[in-house]
Amino acid sequence: MRPSVIACLAGPAAGLATFLGPAWALDPVPPVFLPPARIDGNGDIRLRPDFRIGRLLGTKYLATPDSVQIQGDGITCAPGARCDASGLNITTQGGSVLSLPQALATAVPLNRSFSGSFGIDSRTFLDPQNTNGPYVDFNVKASSWEIVTNTETLARTGNGGMRDGKVLLLRDRDDTNYESAGYRAITNGVRSFVFGKFDSGAATTQWKDLHAGWFYAMGRSGGTARGMSGILAEAVQLGTGVATNEFSASNPVYSNEQASNLSAIIGHYHNDKAASDSSHAAYGANINTYGFPGTAAIRTASVPSDASRTGATQYGLQMNESTVLSAGITMPAGSNGSIISYGANQYSNYDRTGKIFSWVVDGKTVMAATNAGWTSYGASITATSGTLGSASVSNARYTRSNNTVSFTAQVTITTNGTAAGGLQLSLPFPVATSVQIAAGRDDATGAMLQGKMVGNTCFIVRYDNTYTFQNGSIVYIGGTYEAQPL
């Protein structure tokens, strides 16, 4: 057995020789005696001035040789040159042995190109039973992470300022006409996907909530026009496109994968006030229209997916689980007519002036109701020829139910003047048919009077179609007629 080379080494190399000594003792090749090893000022460990084996970092040894070759077909690294790994062999999952260039040429990278894999409708890739898509070969697992960004207090001048914990600014300068090319392109500032436990496309039941985003704002703001907002979304469209903030909730098509409650939006507001009062408003949804008139504050639409799936709902507005203290629906008070429309010429209407509810079918009032009882109206009196000297109308009143109107009035003729032919009294509503009849009494003579109602006027004469009114005559007239629909 050869003498050990340990005695020829000093310093850190002595420990290396202690470990390698027995192996060298069995090597038939004569040993090479190395000079004493040394550690440079920068921590490099050198067996000789031109050969470095590593670096000493505190108490740690970092192997950083000047050159190395993996024995056999492998990787060769030379000083001042890139490593050559072309001779490295790789065994694939199927057991085939390929060189590194062959493996790279035939490999399919798992880091997919999302621009080609994600379509416009992401639901295809969220389907638990889907066998395609960018995540099919992945086991997506949750990890803990934290982002903390501090913002210094900044002096702000002018009309206001904004402080951001994190800002993402994306400028898309691509003006390619993708629509003319036959498909739709989308640019997202942020796109967040949160997946549960999926193994090669199969979903595992988990007992937890998963949220793609959770936003929370808490603080104290002064005044009544400033406050907290958990999320603020704005869309501005320059052109003929649409500007929307969209929410969506989807069920897969499989009957065994249906949600017990599918809601695109769920609004919770916890109205935990010290006392119930009218000075602090609380709304489940608050929609304000600024500037020019809008089309509708709320719009719902049924969109068929095929002939058997029409997108219909059982109820347009479901309120049976609400406890309503004052009114289920309040209608606007800014105009005379408040209408609920069911289609062209099909609607219900409330006349605030006349305090009349009416229902219109095919453009005709089929029913009207009022709680006002008899209502006064401003009637006028004239003569069919000549001019009344001095005359007035009092106690002109009416009541209406559906298209049926009853009216009564008193006419006092102080001086008859040149009036002749007959009296003309205005009616509260126009007559539906050409001629309808009213009746009355000349209180001065006791003579019966007849009235012919046409348009907006009741023509009044004595029963024999003569004009016998004179100074001091008091005329009572009344009747019931069919009025034109409201």
Sequence spans of domains, the chain:
6-66, 68-104, 337-370, 375-482
As a whole number of angstroms, the distance between CA 152 and CA 166 comes to: 12
* pLDDT for 149: 44
Q: Which residues contact 96 (CB under 8 A, 6 or more apart)?
A: none
Beta strands in 49-183, from DSSP E residues, in sequence order: 51-57, 60-62, 68-69, 76-77, 89-91, 97-99
Q: Is 114 a residue whose pLDDT tops 60?
A: no
As a whole number of angstroms, the distance between CA 469 and CA 453 comes to: 19
Going by pLDDT thresholds of 50, 70 and 90, the confidence category of residue 65 is: low
Q: What is the pLDDT of residues 209-222, one digit of tens each?
A: 888 888 888 888 88
As a whole number of angstroms, the distance between CA 419 and CA 384 comes to: 8
* pLDDT for 4: 34
* pLDDT for 473: 94
Q: Is 117 a residue whose pLDDT tops 50?
A: no
Q: Angle CA(186)–CA(192)–CA(196) in degrees, nearest 5?
A: 130
Give burial (CB, 10 Å; 0-12/13-18/19+) of 438: buried
As a whole number of angstroms, the distance between CA 369 and CA 358 comes to: 6
Specify the higher pLDDT residue, 162 or 382. 382
Task: Region of 467 please: left (phi>0), alpha (psi -120 to 50) or beta.
Answer: beta
| pTM for the predicted model, two decimal places | 0.49
* pLDDT for 102: 77
How many Cβ atoms sit within 10 Å of the Cβ of residue 198? Answer: 16
As a whole number of angstroms, the distance between CA 71 and CA 87 comes to: 11
Query: How would you classify the pairing of strands 198-199 and 202-203?
Result: antiparallel
Which is nearest to 230 in space by CA: 242, 214, 241, 243? 214
Please give the share of the chain, as a percent, with pLDDT higher than 90: 20
As a whole number of angstroms, the distance between CA 420 and CA 413 comes to: 13
SS (H, E, C) 243-276: CCCCCCCCCCCCCCCCCCCCCCCCCCCCCCCCCC
* pLDDT for 372: 64
Please report how many Cα atoms fall inside a 13 Å half-sphere around the Cα of residue 321, on the Cβ side.
2
Which is nearest to 448 in space by CA: 410, 482, 413, 475? 475
DSSP 450: E
Instruction: Supply the mean pLDDT for the chain.
Output: 75
CA 13 to chain centre: 71
Q: What is the pLDDT of residues 440-462, one digit of tens each?
A: 999 989 999 999 999 999 999 99
